[in-house]
Structures are given as C-alpha cells and as structure tokens.
Amino acid sequence: MTTSQQLFEQAKTHIPGGVNSPVRAFKAVGGTPLFIERSEGAYIFDAEGQRYIDYVLSWGPMLVGHNHPQVREAVIRQCEKGLSFGAPTELETQLADRLCEIMPNMDLVRMVNSGTEATMSAIRLARGYTGRDTIVKFEGCYHGHSDSLLVKAGSGALTLGVPSSPGVPTALADHTLTLTYNDAEGLRRAFAEHGEAIACAIVEPVAGNMNCIPPEPGFLEALREVCTASGAVLILDEVMTGFRFGLQGAQGHYGIEADLTTLGKVIGGGMPVGAFGGKREIMEQIAPLGPVYQAGTLSGNPICMAAGLATLDILSKPGFYDPLFARTALLCEDMEAAAKEAGVPFTTNSAGTMFGGFFTGEPRVTNYQQVMACDTAAFNRFFHGMLAQGVYLAPASYEAGFMSAAHTDADIEATVEAARRVFAGLAAG
Ligand code: PMP
C-alpha cells in the first residue's frame, strides 16, 4: 500500500468519500488520489516525497507558481499581526482599489470567501437589481454549487454524472435556462422568447469546466448584445480566467464589457477568496448601501488580502505574461505532434495560460457535445500514464490545464517526453 492509499483509507473514516471536494476523489479516472504534502514552484510533492510537475495548480490560482517566496513572506508577516478581526482593514481597500483599477467596468467590488459565494451573490444582486427571476447559464459551464447554478452544471457534477443534484428545489431549477455554449443563434432565440423575464446571463468567458473551450468569434459579442437589448445583467464568471489572460482577464482579452464580474481563488493567490464587482449602479444595490443582502464574517480576511496583494505585485511586472502564453501554446503544439507521431487521435485547445487535450479524431473541439463524445477511457489511461511519470494533470477529462510562471522549458520538455511514451503505449493497445 502506498502512503496515499493508507491516508485515503484513513480519510474515509470521517470525511465523506475521503475528500472535501468531490473531483479530488479520482472517481472519474479511478485509483487513489495523491495526498500532497508540500509544493514549490511548478511542483507538488506527495506524502512519499515524490515530485510531480503540476498542471492543476490548485485548480488554477497558483499562477505565479506554488509557494512563491514573496507571497509566502507577505502571509507570514500578516499572520504575525493576527488571523482575523471581523472588522475593516486597510488591506481590503488596497485590494479593492487594485481590482477596480485593473478590471474594465469594475467601480465597486465586494470580497467573499469562494467562487461559489461570488457567483451566488452576483446572481442575487442581478435579480434584485432587475426585479426578474430567470437566469441564463450555459451547458458545461460550472459556477459553483449554489442551488440556482447547480442545474446541468459541469465540473464535479458532470464527472459524477449528476446533471443537477438532488436537494436543488425544482422551483429554483425552473428559473434557470441552460443554453448551448458557443451557439449564438440559440442564444438569440432564447432571449427573443424569454428576454423580458431574464435577470442575468452568467458565462465562463473561456469555459474551463468542460475541458478548455474558448469562445467562438461572435459568441460573447452576441451575449453582450442580447443582454443589453433585454435589460439583463451580463455576469462574466472569471473565477478561473481572472488574471490568466493578462491582468484584465478574459474580458480584457476578448474586449467584452461585463456588468458584473466574479473572481475567485486567484485574487487571493490561492487562499480562500472570491469577489464580485462591477458597475456602480448595480453594485450600489448591495447592503449596506442598498436592499440586496449579502454578508460574510470572514470576508476580506487579512491573510488572504495580503496574499492577493503580493500576487498582484508579481503579475503586474512588465512582461510577466508573454513567456506563459508562449509556453502554453508550445506545450499544446508539442503534445499534438507527439500524439500524431504515435498515431493517437488527439487535439488540443490553448487559450491564454489555460489549455486542454481531447482524445478525438475531430480537428477542433468547440462545444459541450464534442467534449462529451471524446474517448474518456483513453484519457483515463493517459492520466495514469502521465502520473506514473511524474506529471500531475486534473483527474478528469472535463477539466482545463493551467500554466504557471514557474514552469520552465525543461518542465515542458519533460512533460512532452512523458506524453510521447504514454501515447506510444496507448497506440500499442
Ligand atoms: N466559477 C468557476 C468558473 C469555477 O471554475 C469555479 C470552481 N472552480 C467556481 C465558480 C466555484 O468556485 P469555488 O470552488 O471556489 O466555490
């Protein structure tokens, strides 16, 4: 038995399924999750001290690399002053100011503790602001596990084959319209029919919870157009994409104006943080300024704010992003070439510092149906083959991969070499 297997067995005694978030359980790929002891730069180390090149990066946020000394020191310095006060601190103002300076269309921002809280609160705000109940989301996009949003959701829910969870009242699900991502025509039809009842549309500007699916040209533009025409609030959920396409997120990259933006883990450098913010007129409806209630004892926690500010300092250095974009594209190109050499049907998507690999004969994957049609058995074998060679990918074929500033050309080469060997094994049957 490996140490991780022993720890997993122990964990199951008092933790449901041995994990505190379902996708960690390796249910999709089979086997035992690695129990992680520490991390450094591009690497995580399991309980046996085994090193892995990490493309999960705590599900995205470790953009500057794990355990960055500048972030770690900021956290330690703040810890020495106290862990939590439940009262305002100057750090919250500093992070809010930075976010509003950076993000297009963000006049006011409220900190929360997770991406789920950010999206749930943004939706309540949009409903309160418009006085409407219906929300629009897209199949395969995941926005956290709040009731209104756990309707045909992606990520863990998809992996577990639970399109919407027991415990979500049908009455709430009735208020959620789920449309097809990258289908501008379907979107126009839905808004033509239901537009007057729609409070908001929420979308991942680059979908990262059904593998990695960038928006097709015109899709986000059409969404902006129908939201404006119908008076619905457009919420860009940048929990995953925030700071991964440059400082202004995917909305800056694609030039799409959000009414509200949700951010998550990345703004706390991997600490439990989220935020929602946007146009003043809408954000002024939030308590204590307005009547829409939202609160949090631990919101704006000083340790998380310190980690977020230190991370932003690093991201703001000129030239931070260029090598990351180049390495992400290079990894995808070289993986495709390696698969081709071995004769394995495989294609990739790369967007900013996010990427995805698909076991399919199709040249391009642009929607949920195509993702669902990919060869999951091949992915599962690939995943375990890569893991055995020291490369840690997300343990499900519906998840995006992430690049950090700590990944070097040598890491990319080692990853592609490992993939070459695994593809050869797959081709051999
Ligand atoms: N929105 C998106 C786009 C996400 O990817 C996630 C989770 N990865 C969430 C919301 C929910 O965030 P959290 O898990 O921090 O609640």
Options 46, 54, 183, 237, the catalytic residue: 237
The distance of Cα 239 from the centroid of its chain, to the nearest Å, equals: 5
Q: Give the model confidence (pLDDT) of 237-265 as tens digits.
A: 999 999 999 999 999 999 999 999 999 99
**pLDDT recorded at residue 162:** 35
Mean per-residue pLDDT of the chain: 95
Judged against a pLDDT cut of 70, whether residue 157 lies above it is answered with: no
The distance of Cα 420 from the centroid of its chain, to the nearest Å, equals: 28
DSSP 54-116: ESSTTTTT-TT-BT-HHHHHHHHHHHTT-S--SS--HHHHHHHHHHHHHSTT-SEEEEESSHH
CA of 55 from ligand 1 middle (Å) equals 17
- Which tokens hold the place of 112? 């929360």
C-alpha–C-alpha distance, residues 327 and 344, integer Å = 23
Q: Which of 55-69, 159-173, 357-371 has the lowest mean pLDDT?
A: 159-173
Are residues 58 and 401 in contact, defined by beta-carbon separation less than 8 angstroms?
no
Q: Could you give the 3-state DSSP secondary structure of residue 203?
A: strand
Q: Which of 136-140, 283-287, 322-326, 354-358 has the lowest mean pLDDT?
A: 136-140
Neighbours of 177 (CB within 10 A): 18
**pLDDT recorded at residue 168:** 86
C-alpha–C-alpha distance, residues 197 and 357, integer Å = 38
Options 129, 142, 254, 392, the catalytic residue: 142
C-alpha–C-alpha distance, residues 364 and 267, integer Å = 32
Sheet with 347-351, strands from edge to edge, namely: 347-351, 354-358, 401-402
- Band (pLDDT 50/70/90 cuts) for residue 429 is confident
Q: Which of 140-154, 157-171, 220-234, 320-334 has the lowest mean pLDDT?
A: 157-171
Q: Give the model confidence (pLDDT) of 73-83 as tens digits.
A: 999 999 999 99
Judged against a pLDDT cut of 90, whether residue 142 lies above it is answered with: yes
Strand partners, 276: 110, 262
Residue of 21, 23, 204, 239 to test ligand 1 pocket, by largest number of atoms within 8 Å of CB:
239
Looking at CATH, the fold of the domain delimited by 3-67+318-428 is given as Aspartate Aminotransferase, domain 1 (3.90.1150)
Query: Which one, of 42, 45, 65, 176, lies nearest residue 120 by Cα?
Result: 176
Q: To which H or E segment does residue 46 belong?
A: strand 43-46
Judged against a pLDDT cut of 60, whether residue 158 lies above it is answered with: no
**pLDDT recorded at residue 117:** 98
C-alpha–C-alpha distance, residues 201 and 223, integer Å = 8
**pLDDT recorded at residue 69:** 98
**pLDDT recorded at residue 137:** 92
Are residues 226 and 262 in contact, defined by beta-carbon separation less than 8 angstroms?
no
Judged against a pLDDT cut of 50, whether residue 165 lies above it is answered with: yes
Q: To which H or E segment does residue 3 belong?
A: helix 3-14
Our answer to whether residue 340 is catalytic in this structure is no
- Which tokens hold the place of 221? 């533009």
**pLDDT recorded at residue 172:** 81
Q: To which H or E segment does residue 334 belong?
A: helix 321-342
Query: φ, ψ for residue 292 (rounded to 5)?
Result: -80, 120
Question: Stretch 30-56: mean pLDDT, rounded?
Answer: 97
What is the predicted ipTM?
0.99
Residue bearing tokens 């500033």:
405
Judged against a pLDDT cut of 50, whether residue 297 lies above it is answered with: yes
DSSP 344-382: ---EEEEETTEEEEE-SS-S---SHHHHHTS-HHHHHHH
**What architecture is the 69-315 domain classified under in CATH?**
3-Layer(aba) Sandwich (3.40)
Q: Give the model confidence (pLDDT) of 95-114 as tens digits.
A: 999 999 999 999 999 999 99
Helices 321-342 and 409-428: angle between axes, nearest 10 degrees: 20
Residues with CB under 6 Å of ligand 1 are 59, 114-116, 119, 142-144, 204, 208-209, 237, 239-240, 264-265
C-alpha–C-alpha distance, residues 272 and 305, integer Å = 10
Amino acid found at 171: A
**pLDDT recorded at residue 163:** 45
- Band (pLDDT 50/70/90 cuts) for residue 156 is very low
Query: Which one, of 146, 163, 215, 160, lies nearest residue 187 by Cα?
Result: 215
Judged against a pLDDT cut of 70, whether residue 406 lies above it is answered with: yes
- Residue nearest to ligand 1 atom 1, measured at CA: 143
- Which tokens hold the place of 265? 């883990």
In the chain, domain spans: 3-67+318-428, 69-315
C-alpha–C-alpha distance, residues 372 and 386, integer Å = 22
Residue of 19, 111, 116 to test ligand 1 pocket, by largest number of atoms within 8 Å of CB:
116
Judged against a pLDDT cut of 90, whether residue 159 lies above it is answered with: no
